[in-house]
Every structure is written in structure tokens, then in C-alpha cells.
Amino acid sequence: MSESDAERSEGGQSRGEPRPKRPRAGPKRTSVDTRGVSAGTGSVCKLFVRKAPCNFADPWRKHSQQSSTGTGFLLENRWVVTNAHVVHRAVSVLVRPTTGNPVKYNARVVAVGLPCDLAVLQVDEAFWKNKESLNLSRDIPKLDDNVTCIGFPVGGENISVTRGVVSRIDVNIDGLMRIQIDAAINPGNSGGPVLGAHGLVVGMASSILKNASNIGYIIPSQVLEQFISCIETADDGAVRSCYLGTSSLGIGRVQTLESPALRRRLKLPEGCTTGVRLCRVFPLGSSAQVMQEDDVLLEIDGVEISQDATVPLRDNERIHFGHLVTKHIAGREKVKVKLWRDSAPQEVEISLKPDRWLVPRIDGYDAAAEYAIIGGLVFIPLSHPWAELKSPSLGTFAPCHSTRTGGEPHRAEVKGLER
């Protein structure tokens, strides 16, 4: 073998010639999530709101106007959706798109659903040029699914993207489904879309749990779709009908039947492992004159209610039975209920409607800042917003919209969800 032949190594490579680089083996890259998120950012907009909150402490006076910011995203029918608390008591709403010229457009509030914390806006026609809408997912995300939260939180003016996973699926105090995620949600994120790995909207950023780390809640797309289906508009844009409120049986709290002694007291049959006891039936609720105290609620629409007041959601997942009620539209739909009363089962049909409270709970929904002067005395109606002023510790959840008053820094307002 000659020296020149010896200098050539295996594969015909000479010592003086550079070796070609071999491609490194690694996991296959997929761009599904990247495309979905990048497409979603173009359908997100920033909201600039000026609002005049009600003065429940002194209803004869008006609060000064406040400036706040939030997030919204585009849906079909040329609607912008956001949280109700972002535009509640709004004097003016301006919308700035993410794509195109950063021009602010006037927006009009079409419908507000304070119980579910959702709102729909209409924007000037020029805003919609070359804009694409997002699509809602019809499936509830699974535990540990990756989600991406898009919005305009504090800390900067540009759009922000944070990622996390679905941590829990539960219901709120009214029985509406909510999804807990660990993605960072901060003031200003309210109303922003939360996308799944497929690029579809699985929810809307809504609130955070105060004094806790990485616990944020989003409104599922199923609740948003239900809210939008209630809105009917005329050709001139006037609203004919809208969201009435959260469906309820009007039964207050229930008692679990995990105690064998209590089950014997209610004369439930041997081997029956389902049902919850009704402790109270509201006289103005949906179940008035239909259900009674000490009735045992066994089934709703054929779904058995377990002793701990939960029903199956998916494999190895359960949820409070209130979800079976709130997924229906108040004022339009009914549920079939199976009861145990007087040692015998009974089946009844109940038309659903929202609860009516002796002490109004929500500003602008059933509570208003009113007063009357009689004989030199000023009378103010008792309401939950007024009670919160006297006892600030009632608030436990913070909506994620940033608020600025004058030159003050951003801060998160407190939203009380206690009854």
C-alpha cells in the first residue's frame, strides 16, 4: 500500500480533508404547538377601559373614573370576548389589535354575564380588516395537558405568553366548571385566551387564588360557548335576549350520606350507596313546591350522585353534581331528577332558573347602589358589595386585570366569591 493510500482513512477520507458532519440523532420536532400559539397571538387584543365604579358606601356620590387594562380575543360573528369584570361599569372601551397598525378602536359592550364573568364587545368595522378569529375547543382538557396563556399582564406593554399544565378540574361556588392551571397568570391577563396544544381555545384566563403560588383559574370554552349561545341580536345590533344567569336547582347546600346511621334515618334501602340529603329548598328557587327538605337526591338526568356529592366526569375523574345543572341554560332547559321521599323513589322534571338571593350578591346583576331619604334618615339596602366594604376580609379571589388610578402602580382588585 502506498503512503498516499495509507493516508486515506476508512470511507476514502484523506487526512487533510475535513470530515463531513454527521446529523445528530434526537427527538423528532413537531411544530403543531408553535403554529397554534403563533397564530393565536394575532387574534388577541389589548383593552383600555375607563370605568366609574359604584359607591356603595355613599351612593349619593360618584367615584372618580379609573383606568384599567385587560385582554380580549376575537371570535366568529366579529365579536371580541373578555371577562365581565374587565368592562363592568365601563364608561369607554378602546381595543388595540396585535397585528397591523397599533391604532385604538372604539368598542361597545353588547352583553355582560356577571355570574359567569364573561362579556362580548363589538368593534368598529375598520378593526376587522385582515383579522382572523380563534376557534373554541369542544373537549374539556385533560389533567396534565399543556396549555398556553396569552395576554397583556403587568411588567411590559407587549404581548406575553406563558405555559403550564392543567392541574385540576372543579366547580366554583355556583357550580360552574372551572379549570385550574399552573401557568403564570397576572393582573392584565384577564380575558386572554388559553390555548391547547392543538391551537384551539380551551378556556379564558379569569382569576387567581390570593396567598397561593401558581394557582390560576380559567373559564372553560364550554361555559363561553353557552354564554354566547344565549345572545340574540337584531339586524341593527340591538340585543333581543342575553344570558340570564347560572342555572340552579335552588336547593342551597346538601349533606353527604357517608354515615350509615343517617342513611338508616332516611330509610334508604339496603345496598343503596348513592344520594345526598337536601338541607334546604329556597322558596323562590327552581325546586320550590317540587322538592322538600330531607329529600334524598339520587340522580340528575340519569346520572347517579354518589354519597360525597360527586358524579363521573371522565375515567378516574369526578366532579361536583352541580355541573350537571349549570351546563344547562337557565330559562330554557329542564332536568329530570330522581328523589327518595317517604321510603319510595320519585321522578320529577324541573325548569331551571337562576337563584334569587335575599341579600343581593353581585354589583350590577342583582345589587345596586341605591338610597332613600325618609324623615331625615338615609336608608341603604343591604347587599354583599356593601358588606365587603365593611369587612374586606371577605375577598379571597383576585381578577387578573390591571388597574391604574392616576399615577398609582398596577394592582389586582379583589373579587369576593363568598356567599
Q: Which of 16-30, 31-45, 160-174, 236-250 shows the lowest per-residue confidence on average (mean pLDDT)?
A: 16-30
Burial (0-12, 13-18, 19+ Cβ within 10 Å), 202: buried
Q: DSSP state, 251? A: -
Catalytic residue among 43, 68, 85, 323: 85
> What average pLDDT does range 155-170 have in this prediction?
92
Backbone angles phi, psi at 221, to 5 degrees: -65, -25
- Same topology, domains 44-128 and 146-241? Answer is yes
Q: What is the CATH number of domain 146-241?
A: 2.40.10.10
Catalytic residue among 190, 248, 287, 383: 190
Q: DSSP state, 130? A: T
> What average pLDDT does range 396-406 have in this prediction?
44
Known catalytic membership, residue 401: no
| pLDDT tens-place string over residues 184-217 | 888 899 999 999 988 899 999 998 888 777 889 9
**Contact predicate 141/166, CB 8 Å:** yes
**Is the pLDDT confidence value at 72 over 60?**
yes
* Residue for grid cell 329530570: 336
pLDDT, residue 349, reads 96
Q: Which of 10-14, 325-329, 388-392 shows the lowest per-residue confidence on average (mean pLDDT)?
A: 10-14
pLDDT, residue 256, reads 94
Catalytic residue among 43, 88, 117, 247: 117
Q: Is 5 helix (H, G, I), strand (E, B) or coil?
A: helix
Known catalytic membership, residue 190: yes
Query: Residue type at 33?
Result: D
DSSP string, 81-116: EE-HHHHTTEEEEEEEESSSS---EEEEEEEEETTT
CA 301/CA 71 separation, integer angstroms? 37
Query: Residue type at 168?
Result: R
Domain 254-351, classified CATH 2.30.42.10, yes or no: yes
200 versus 15: the higher-pLDDT residue is 200
Domain 44-128, classified CATH 3.30.1200.10, yes or no: no
> What average pLDDT does range 40-47 have in this prediction?
91
Q: Where are the domains of the chain?
A: 44-128, 146-241, 254-351
**Contact predicate 188/77, CB 8 Å:** no
What's the pLDDT band for 116 if we cut at 50, 70, 90? very high
Global confidence as pTM: 0.82
| pLDDT tens-place string over residues 267-284 | 999 888 899 999 999 998
Known catalytic membership, residue 236: no
